[in-house]
Amino acid sequence: MKTIIEPFRIKSVEPIRMTTRQERRRLMQAAHYNLFALHSDDVLIDLLTDSGTSAMSAAQWSAVMRGDESYAGSPSFLRFEAAVKNLMPFRHVIPTHQGRAAEAILFHLIGGPGRMIPSNTHFDTTRGAIEASGAQAHDLVIAEGKDPAALHPFKGNIDLAALEAFLERHGEAAPCVMLTVTNNAGGGQPVSLANIRATADIAHRHGKPLIIDGCRFAENAWFIRQREDGQSGRDVADIARDMFSVADGMTMSAKKDAFANIGGWLALNDDGLAEKARMRLILTEGFPTYGGLAGRDLDAIAQGLVEIVEHDYLAYRIRTNEYIGERLLALDAPIVQPTGGHAVFVDARGLLPHIPPLAYPGQALVCALYETGGVRACEIGTAMFGRQPDGTEKPAAMDLVRLAMPRRVYTQSHADYVIETFAEIVANKRQIAGMRITWEPPALRHFTARFAPLEAA
Ligand code: F0G
């Protein structure tokens, strides 16, 4: 059969409250045109993030009931640890309340002033943890990874020559090498198994551990199976094992590819470092057999890790985003190509060329998506990155809007509805005005800044 169906039935539903365009216009005005300020009840299709928004399965909810809340040595921890080690064969698995907690512990231990950490592209929270420790984060993704229109099967790959040169020059300062799979900040693009292996070789030749940020490891493994020579037909779980077996540690947000609503972990092979990480964990998260989690969360993750590598799920997952991407391109709405694993990234600057970057085309597009269809998406552009340390304003490298797809939550007709919303926007795009900022906080302004449409200035 050609139709790829959602490989699940729905037993429990959450109603979506319908709103009118007029209502949404009023709500958006009250939120000062910042969609983070909306109540999620007022959103029809919420594509703000794929993090923590997954629908858990009946088996996961059963596992929640089995959860054992003992302070120490809970069987839930042992099930969680076994499920992680089954796919990621590291010696030590340290639970945390989410991904950034694992990053904070790691870089508290190996970061610090004068240190430099190379990666394909650090996600914001990773960069934040590195910089908070006084170290520097360096992004060395291949050139194609920075060009939205470049077609390359593994746009998340790290530039191996640049990594080699970096370690020759700054080897002393680098406590590790990192890889983010898939590369979220670069459009959800995968890293090939060959690139992971070559990165491990280079790191190990320089005496450095390779740490993988594995948030979307199953999507990455699926792309390897689809696109890499010699990998087709393989079991995704085996590919995942191959990805992690050459690494020395990982950070993870279970809110992505573990189908959990909360959770994460830090895994390490180095006994001494793991010991220090557990000490830090006790101070900041909790006892080493629960981290920042309840026993029931650990059991939900253990079951989620079984389900996330199922081929029928991954085929449906990746195809949903590819389908939206294809339809947007057919509407002449430019996107980052090829479509990423967890999201479609729309090039708002390309779609709305009449809005200059300093009038925030990405913010204008997320507001238009909400007003037109009640769809909530996230601006990743000049509103997020435009403010310079000296207080001036500069266009970001790109003005993107991320449509991040929650896992197992929306159906084909929801995808078609999002496409129809875009069709209406494209047809009337000249009427979409740029935005200005009326108030902003000193840092991380995109979460709370207030905007106004330029015509209303
Ligand atoms: N690494 C990557 C690649 C991520 O995408 C995220 C979170 C984290 C680490 C941090 O994990 O949220 O559990 O602390 N990304 C979310 C997103 C927030 O919307 O892309 P966390």
pLDDT digits (tens, 9 = 90+) for 117-156: 999 999 999 999 999 999 999 999 999 998 888 999 999 9
Residues 346 and 448 reside in one and the same domain:
yes
Distance CA 142, CA 439 (A): 37
Please tell me the predicted confidence (pLDDT) of residue 148: 86
Query: Does residue 11 lie within any of the structural domains?
Result: no
Contact 428, 333 (CB under 8 A): no
Query: Does residue 6 lie within any of the structural domains?
Result: no
Residues 287 and 407 reside in one and the same domain:
no
Residue where one domain finishes, among candidates 307, 332, 366: 307
Residues 185 and 157 reside in one and the same domain:
yes
Question: Does residue 457 have a pLDDT over 50?
Answer: no
Residue where one domain finishes, among candidates 253, 284, 307: 307
For the segment 166-174, the average pLDDT, to the nearest whole number, is: 97
Residues 80 and 34 reside in one and the same domain:
no
Higher pLDDT: 13 or 455? It is 13
Contact 159, 167 (CB under 8 A): no
Query: Does residue 41 lie within any of the structural domains?
Result: yes
Nearest CA to ligand 1 atom 2: 123
For the segment 57-84, the average pLDDT, to the nearest whole number, is: 98
Residues 72 and 183 reside in one and the same domain:
yes
Look up residue 172 and give its two tokens: 């002393």
Question: In angstroms, how far is the first alpha carbon of the chain from the final one?
Answer: 54
Distance CA 344, CA 47 (A): 10
Q: In which band, very low, low, confident or very high, does the pLDDT at 177 lie, cut at 50, 70 and 90?
A: very high
For the segment 71-95, the average pLDDT, to the nearest whole number, is: 98
Question: Does residue 102 have a pLDDT over 90?
Answer: yes
Q: How far, in Å, is the centroid of ligand 1 from the Cα of 359?
A: 27
Nearest CA to ligand 1 atom 18: 51
Residues 418 and 362 reside in one and the same domain:
yes
Query: Does residue 106 lie within any of the structural domains?
Result: yes
Percentage, residues of the chain above pLDDT 90: 95
Residue where one domain finishes, among candidates 307, 324, 352: 307
Is the beta carbon of 49 within 6 A of some atom in ligand 1? yes
Residues 133 and 243 reside in one and the same domain:
yes
Residues 126 and 236 reside in one and the same domain:
yes
Q: How far, in Å, is the centroid of ligand 1 from the Cα of 263?
A: 11
Q: In which band, very low, low, confident or very high, does the pLDDT at 397 lie, cut at 50, 70 and 90?
A: confident
Nearest CA to ligand 1 atom 15: 51
Residues 165 and 69 reside in one and the same domain:
yes
Is the beta carbon of 184 within 6 A of some atom in ligand 1? yes
Please tell me the predicted confidence (pLDDT) of residue 229: 97
Please tell me the predicted confidence (pLDDT) of residue 336: 95
Which tens digit of pLDDT belongs to each residue from 310-342?
A: 999 999 999 999 999 999 999 999 999 999 999
For residue 80, give the nearest of 281, 258, 246 by alpha carbon. Answer: 258
Residue of 100, 107, 345 to mutate, ligand 1, most atoms within 8 A of C-beta: 100
As a whole number, the mean pLDDT across the chain is 96
Nearest CA to ligand 1 atom 19: 49
pTM (predicted TM-score):
0.96
Query: Does residue 5 lie within any of the structural domains?
Result: no
Q: In which band, very low, low, confident or very high, does the pLDDT at 427 lie, cut at 50, 70 and 90?
A: very high
DSSP labels for 118-164? EES---HHHHHHHHHTT-EEEE-B-GGGG-TT---TTTT-B-HHHHH
Nearest CA to ligand 1 atom 1: 123
Residues 206 and 63 reside in one and the same domain:
yes
Residues 326 and 297 reside in one and the same domain:
no
CATH number of the domain where residue 428 is located: 3.90.1150.10
Please tell me the predicted confidence (pLDDT) of residue 455: 77
Residues 325 and 290 reside in one and the same domain:
no
Which tens digit of pLDDT belongs to each residue from 218-260?
A: 999 999 999 999 999 999 999 999 999 999 999 999 999 999 9
Atom of ligand 1 at shortest distance to CA of 263?
A: 13
Is the beta carbon of 307 within 6 A of some atom in ligand 1? no
Query: Does residue 13 lie within any of the structural domains?
Result: no
Residues of the domain holding 76: 58-307
Q: How far, in Å, is the centroid of ligand 1 from the Cα of 222?
A: 20
> Using CA of residue 81, residue 82, residue 88, residue 91, what is the dihedral sign?
positive
Please tell me the predicted confidence (pLDDT) of residue 443: 82
As for how many domains the chain has, the answer is: 2
